[in-house]
Amino acid sequence: MLVVRPIAMSDYDALHTCAVESGHGFTSLPVDKDLLTNRITHSEYSFSKPDVTEPGDEGYLMVGFDTNTGEVAGCTGIEASIGWDVPFYSYHISTIVHSSAKLGVNNVVKLLTFGNNYTGCSEICTLFLRPEFRQGLNGRLMSKCRFLMMAEHPHRFSKTVFAEMRGVSDENGNSPFWQWLEEHFFSIDFKLADYLTGIGKKGFIADLMPKLPIYINLLSKEAQAVIGQVHENTKPALRLLEKEGFTCRNYVDIFDGGPSVECEVRNIESVRHSFRAKVTIAPHASSQDFLISNTSFEHFRATAAKASYDQASESVVLSPEVAEALQVNQGDFVRMLNL
């Protein structure tokens, strides 16, 4: 059984493995000991932070582990409110018209405009599932458990939630979009720029990034072709978010041109359709799959399991194994989502 819980410092080696396996372009998991250690420390602080009434500098990082072996299968995270201490940059794609009535010319062109439009929003991030665990309901658990957390503890998160999707790059970590920017403005390769951003050294972006809008039709054909496109490995994650109601509002990543998708918390499908149920612990036979989390925040647990739910009494029968995994007792409440 795969169970999601808050990360602990004892998970450092597993998080490092995820960072190595995630490959180039996965900005939130750079292979850097200090950064990974700091992320774990900050997550431990955030989960234990008392009396949170509104989103702030909290960053929640979780891991999914196999209850049979103890092996960490992957990680998933949420940043409560981004862009306050460290700027968060993105490009917005806008459309303008160049026209001349006298000449009968009417040209529609698109621009990339540099900005900080997602400041204050919550970000779902750092979703990575190791290849050997990409089966069954594991992917949905690692993605959707964050929405159960938001449904149960909405005061900790912003009204708008977004996700940056990894853009197109090749097996060597080369991005067609970045190659054009590198040639004209940066003079450093994509892997170095991506790494510097991951470890929080973003000053070079403000120093070197062109401040005026960029006409997309002036970019190379290769760069134009990947704007708003996702990496092949990211397509399953994008499909899951699109089913949740996330859409691209024409914001793309400044490095690889990958799309950002967003949705208001209240409109996220898993938030809207999740519900609470009172727990009865007993052996049972059920063929219905649910995503289930406890209602604790500091000791959050979530798993995908079969359960018997009775809508009339708003109660659920959990097996002893599932109840133990979720750290719930008879009479406690859980939050559920029908899968």
Domain limits, the chain: 2-91+115-270, 274-338
Single out the residue of 174, 169, 151, 171 nearest to residue 161, CA to CA: 151
CATH topology of domain 2-91+115-270: Aminopeptidase (3.40.630)
Instruction: Name the range with the highest mean pLDDT among 82-86, 146-150, 182-186, 212-216.
Output: 146-150
- Please state the rounded mean pLDDT for residues 79-106: 89
Name the catalytic one among 24, 153, 155, 231: 231
Q: How confident is the model at residue 229 (pLDDT cuts 50, 70, 90)?
A: very high
pLDDT above 60: residue 199 = no
pTM: 0.89
Q: Helices 138-152 and 235-244 sit at what angle, rounded to 10 degrees?
A: 40
Residue 231 annotated as catalytic: yes
Distance CA 199, CA 36 (A): 9
- The CATH class of the 274-338 domain is mainly beta
pLDDT above 70: residue 198 = no
Q: Among 51-55, 91-95, 281-285, whose mean pLDDT is lowest?
A: 281-285
pLDDT, position 84: 86
Q: Which residue has the tokens 């000991």?
A: 33
Single out the residue of 127, 255, 136 nearest to residue 196, CA to CA: 255
Distance CA 13, CA 190 (A): 26
Express each pLDDT in 133-185 by its tens digit. 999 999 999 999 999 999 999 999 999 999 999 899 888 778 898 888 877 77
Query: Residue 327 class from Cβ within 10 Å (0-12 exposed, 13-18 middle, 19+ buried)?
Result: middle
